[in-house]
Structure 1
Amino acid sequence: MISLIIASIVAVTFAQECGRTSFSQTPNYAMQMIVGGQIAKEGDFPWQVGLVENGYLICGGTYVIGTGGVVKVITAAHCLSGKNPNPNNYQVVFGMHQTNVVGTRLIVRAVTINVHQQYNSNTMSNDIAVIAFGSLMPSGLPVNTFPACRPSRTYNHNEDSVVSGWGTTSEGGSSSTSLRYVWKPLLSLAACENTGNKGSLDATMLCAGATGKDACQGDSGGPLVAPRNGVWELVGVVSWGFGCGRANYPGVYADTWYLRSWLNTYL
């Protein structure tokens, strides 16, 4: 169970900027996967948040700026209990690096949750949701938080991307107490249809893969980001996969560019 202690908060001074971090934009595919893997430095992924349900860390999410400059979080629909989840059951942790160290972080209760109306739990189509916190502004968040940018375009085949989270460090294993990440190449749907995912994909999804490099249980809802023109854009939301890092089974993500019209309605 995650501690609900709120540490001291230092106000941030930025507002509308997004996608900036000291994390290197130079891909390193030699790094290990989240499963078994590479620990991020504190502040590498300042848009990464944790989703808590009834006191337990269950998923990840991405901090973005919504209309009017307010704080919003994008996560996966399957992380929530049905299409009309009770916001009172959910909290979001901003500024967390290690789950077992309080540090400088803030836990905020959800005010409204919008799950995609066409989310299908059988096919995982439209696996996306937006969490709002009333009029919460960036100035109320810890200093080690910063929003990811929304996607400015569709993705390219073999484009570099990074996925992060606190999920399990082996398939069916234990969760990580430290935030981990891995570089992954984005795959076109046509290329992904030539993998073990054939017949399970639709236009609301994108794939990112390399054997042995993947998100896993507990990373759901978290960010898949790509470096573009000096900033990091949210290109996908961790959705589903056959196992974790298996050969010929790349991970599948909700495609934020394809789903941008729906997102813009609730951001």
Structure 2
Amino acid sequence: MTIFVSNQTLLKKLFLAVIILNRATSEKNPGLRRDTIAQTQAEGGDSRSLVPLPLYPSLPEGPEEISGSREEVEDNVQKKRRRLDDEVMPRIINGYKAMHDSFPYYTLMLQKTSSGRLRRKGCGATLIEDEWILTAAHCYNQAGDIAWIGAYNAGIKEKKVKVVECFEHPNYNWPEYDYALCRLAKTSSLPKARISEAGFELTHGERLTVIGTGAVFEGGGAVPVLNENKVKYRVKHICENIYGFFQKDSMLCAGGGGHDACQGDSGSPLFYEDNRGYVQVGIVSWGAGCGKQGYPGVYADIAMERDWIDQVICNNSVNSIGSMCRPQSTSRTKTLHFAAPSEQSSTCVDKPGAHWYAGRSWECKKLRPHFCSIDFWRYTCRNTCNNCPKM
């Protein structure tokens, strides 16, 4: 029976009802990119019919366990890589194997079994700061999980680090605001991925790169190799027309028509490329099937919540200082420094004009609140940060 609705709120409620019916499956496999609903135009009006689409396939029961010495694990991985290469297996959905060491910041999430061995959780992440990884909230990562940084791509430089705590976005309500940050027990010296700045916008049709170790065809399982694929960005109003519950404030979409991420890629990064290399713009979140014609994959849009990312890192780092939390060298200025309190003016005023910091120009009156915990800003914007000398 076809159900016709014209109210957007009702549409979302019915969609969430479908999610609840599938919750048992999704909770068993936190890497699942959930199901969605196709919308079609009804005759003679704006009504849309709800057509449930297939779930992204679940990973096989008893996911791959990773144990033994580093040499044994690496040898096992190399054997599996050669076997996959011999079979000329497709990559992600119509993608290909990533070049060695091209994405050393890619992170595979693991968890310990009752026997103490490690197995895949079915989700990826990205190392973006010395002690921070960025992933999807629906992966439900938690303290005690293991982040395998450089998995299947960085060779002997790879590193497994325990997760200490994770922060979901405060507005997370799947599939909206599907962002999470996890702090690691130790810092990593591996290269970090750059992430898009607040307000960054992509161009329709721009070629992006998605990577992951999830299924390479619908109905398949995860693979022991890092794959990449090229997908085209779709402007947000197109995504809204395809998915009635697409939320432009926290989502972007790309791919479809044979090129896509798939189940097991959740939390993995989506990149665009500038003259300095890759910049992460999205986090794999959900979609309709894998690579279905007309149905692009949906990603959490990093630029929309860059302020939240900065705030969490700057307020909760323990063993490092986030790159966005301190002055940096830029092509426009020399390395920034701030004077000691005794060198500052004793008057309680903000220094006038704009100040270059972390790749952007800021005025005191528009300063992010959490920046006031940083000495540079406490003494540059005394009035705004309520850092007035005692009389």
Structure 1 consecutive aligned stretches of length 4 or more whose deviation exceeds 6 Å: none
How many residues are treated as equivalent by the alignment? 224
Q: Distance in 2 between matches of 1:5 and 1:79?
A: 26
2:125: which partner in 1? 61
Matched with 2:70 is 7
Higher radius of gyration, 1 or 2: 2
- 1:6 positional shift: 6.3
> Aligned equivalents of 2:91 and 2:226: distance in 1?
12
Alpha-carbon shift at residue 111 of structure 1 (Å):
0.9
Listed as ranges, the matches of 1:98-177 within 5 Å are 103-121=156-174, 124-134=175-185, 136-139=186-189, 145-152=190-197, 153-177=200-224
Paired amino acid for 1:59: C
Q: Deviations over 1:12-42 (max 9, x none)?
A: xxxxxxxxxxxxxxxxxxxx65125411121
CA contact (8 A) 2:95 2:259 kept: no
How many angstroms does 1:204 deviate by? Answer: 0.2
Q: State yes or no: 1:72 paired with 2:132.
A: yes
SS at match of 1:111: strand
Q: Which is bigger in relative contact order (C-alpha 8 A, separation at least 6)?
A: 1
> How far did residue 46 of structure 1 move?
1.6
Tell me if the contact between 1:6 and 1:105 (Cα under 8 Å) persists in the aligned partners.
Answer: no
| Correspondence 1:87 to 2:143 | yes
SS at match of 1:193: helix
Q: Show CA shifts across 1:100-134 (max 9, x none).
A: x985422111011111121112xx00001001114
Match of 1:25 in 2: none
Counterpart CA distance in 1 for 2:155 and 2:69 is 8
Question: SS state of the match for residue 170, structure 1?
Answer: coil
TM-score by length of 1: 0.77
Q: Give distance in 1, aligned partners of 2:222 and 2:142.
A: 26
Aligned equivalent of 1:142: none
Alignment check: 8 A CA contact 1:7 1:104 kept: no
Instruction: Classify 1:210/1:125 alpha carbon distance in 2 versus 1 (closer, same or farther; 3 Å).
Output: same
- Residue aligning to 1:44: 102
Task: Determine if contact 2:128/2:192 at 8 Å carries over to the other structure.
Answer: yes
Match of 2:273 in 1: 227
What's 2:306 paired with? 260
TM-score w.r.t. structure 2 length? 0.54
Structure 1 residues 61 and 6: alpha-carbon distance in aligned structure 2, compared to 1, 3 A threshold: farther
In structure 1, distance between residues paired with 2:292 and 2:256: 9
Structure 1, gaps ≥5 residues long: 9-31, 140-144
Give me the whole-angstrom Cα distance separating, in 1, the residues matched to 2:106 and 2:142: 22
Q: Deviations over 1:182-211 (max 9, x none)?
A: 01111111122233x233333200001141
The 1:47–1:104 alpha-carbon spacing in structure 2 relative to 1, beyond 3 Å, is closer
Alpha-carbon offset, residue 157 of structure 1:
2.0
Measured in 2, the distance between the counterparts of 1:52 and 1:137 equals 18
Tell me: CA distance 1:154–1:171, structure 2 relative to 1, closer, same or farther (3 Å): same
State how far apart, in whole Å, the 2-side matches of 1:159 and 1:213 are: 14
Superposed CA offset, 1:207-262 (max 9, x none): 01141001001000000011023221110000000111001110000000001111
Match of 1:12 in 2: none
> What percentage of aligned pairs have identical amino acids?
31
AA partner of residue 187 (structure 1): R
Return the alpha-carbon distance in structure 2 between the equivalents of residues 245 and 198 of structure 1: 19
Could you tell me whether the CA contact under 8 Å between 2:239 and 2:246 is conserved in 1?
no
The unaligned stretches of length 5 or more in structure 2 are: 1-63, 72-89, 113-117, 314-391
Query: 2:182 corresponds to which letter in structure 1?
Result: I
SS in structure 2 at match of 1:49: strand
